Structure 1
Amino acid sequence: MQLPIRDQVPLWTAVLSALALGAVFAAVGGMIPTSLLPRLDALITVIPELNVVISLAAIGTIVAGWRAIRRNDITTHRNYMVASTMLFAAFLAFYIYRVSLVGPTDFGGPAAIEQFVYFPVLAVHILLAIICVPLVIYTLLLAVSRPVEEIYRTRHRSVGQLAVVLWLISFSLGIVVYALLYVVY
């Protein structure tokens, strides 16, 4: 599939990244009016566990997509990477919804663990997630805006390889953050 954005991939990457990250920062900053969102307490309660399942599934689809392209199975690679992107979007949507309504979760463990373990892990997780947003969008836009044979002449591969590594680390650290917040403490 070829889209008319092919000559404007950096611009669309910037616009879509700003929208996605703006929504996350608005939610964390309490700037999304809660009156705009239906309050589904049963959903709010399970979102942390749901996002862990989404993270695990995303790790699986990212690895499977990476393995598929190494075998030169472009169709399978594309399917897994689209699934990974949809999982990432679902994770963000659930996260934004929950944080908008109840705010960020406070760490319940000892201050020393919070300062020397939790905050550093959380900081790296957040930093990598922020970096991944434009990398994933850029790579995806390159892929959907060009025929397959033309993708090899773009930065899709080099940016995609970086995105995959950072994405895997970010999702993995997100699971560690969940474990520290909801399992260990």
Structure 2
Amino acid sequence: MATTNAKRRVRDNPRAATAILSVLGYVLVLGTFAGLLPIYPDLGRETVDLLSHAIAGVNTIALTALLLGWRWIRRGEVRKHRAAMLTAFALILVFLVLYLVKVGGGGEKSIAVTGPVYYAYLAMLAIHIVLSVVAVPVVLYAVVLGLTHTPTELRDTAHARVGRWAAGAWALSLALGIVTYLMLNHIYGVDEYMAALLPVLAVRR
């Protein structure tokens, strides 16, 4: 009964539910970045690398699910669309946990390159971050509507319109996140340990 009543309240007030969930998410992320949540273990370099690879893998699968969901809804395959989008959303929650553990544990890296590539990296990273922040309430609103309404009822809501914006911003953010991961971890990346050694190595050379 309590679950039914809660679902009914969310159904009747999707914007309020979205606002509450968005604020909770923002507080959790900002609190982690500010070091206000001492709940994360200190991480070693190997663990940071492992988390980075895991995050990229989760995001790649999430992007694939998202694109499949977009394709299926265009074909009118509602059940497949719903399954794909919920899978993508679940994976984003997994990403959030892994990312917060990484950031909260002090797992930071820097890119070892200058010039146009460096600025291109910063531009992509900035767009990725902005889209990630902006997409939170949009994605949550689409998900809340999808979970509390039947396919027929959704036709009378903003789900389709909001969903298009949510999927577009979400997909671009994920794609840019994957590209910046490749640049940082496999092409130009340098972790903090190596960054500290670079001046020493330069002097020795």
TM-score by length of 2: 0.82
**Structure 1 CA distance for aligned equivalents of residues 149 and 33 of structure 2:** 36
Residue identity in the other structure for 2:21: L
Higher relative contact order (CA 8 A, sep 6+): 1
RMSD: 1.7
Residue by residue over 1:93-148, the C-alpha shift from the partner in whole angstroms, topping out at 9 and shown as x without a partner, is 1111100011432222226543x212111110000011111111000001111122
Give yes or no for contact 1:28–1:103 (8 Å, CA) kept in 2: no
Bigger shift: residues 24-33 or 77-86: 24-33
Which residue of structure 2 aligns with residue 90 of structure 1? 94
Residue identity in the other structure for 1:117: A
Where do 5+ consecutive residues of structure 1 fail to align?
none
1:120 and 2:141 correspond: no
Aligned residues: 181
Which residue of structure 2 aligns with residue 68 of structure 1? 72
Which residue of structure 1 aligns with residue 108 of structure 2? 104
Residue identity in the other structure for 1:127: V
1:54 and 2:65 correspond: no
1:133 and 2:130 correspond: no
Aligned 1:31-42 pairs, distance under 5 A: 31-33=36-38, 36-39=39-42, 41=44
Residue by residue over 1:19-39, the C-alpha shift from the partner in whole angstroms, topping out at 9 and shown as x without a partner, is 112222222222221xx2345
Structure 1 residues 31 and 112, CA gap change in structure 2 (3 angstroms): farther
**Structure 1 CA distance for aligned equivalents of residues 111 and 49 of structure 2:** 17
Which residue of structure 1 aligns with residue 14 of structure 2? 9
**Structure 2 CA distance for aligned equivalents of residues 184 and 53 of structure 1:** 17
Shift of 1:40: 6.3
1:177 and 2:180 correspond: yes
Shift of 1:156: 0.3
Give yes or no for contact 2:142–2:163 (8 Å, CA) kept in 1: yes
Give yes or no for contact 1:28–1:104 (8 Å, CA) kept in 2: no
Give yes or no for contact 1:143–1:156 (8 Å, CA) kept in 2: yes
Where do 5+ consecutive residues of structure 2 fail to align?
189-205
Aligned residues: percent identity? Answer: 30
Larger radius of gyration, structure 1 or 2? 2
Shift of 1:59: 1.1
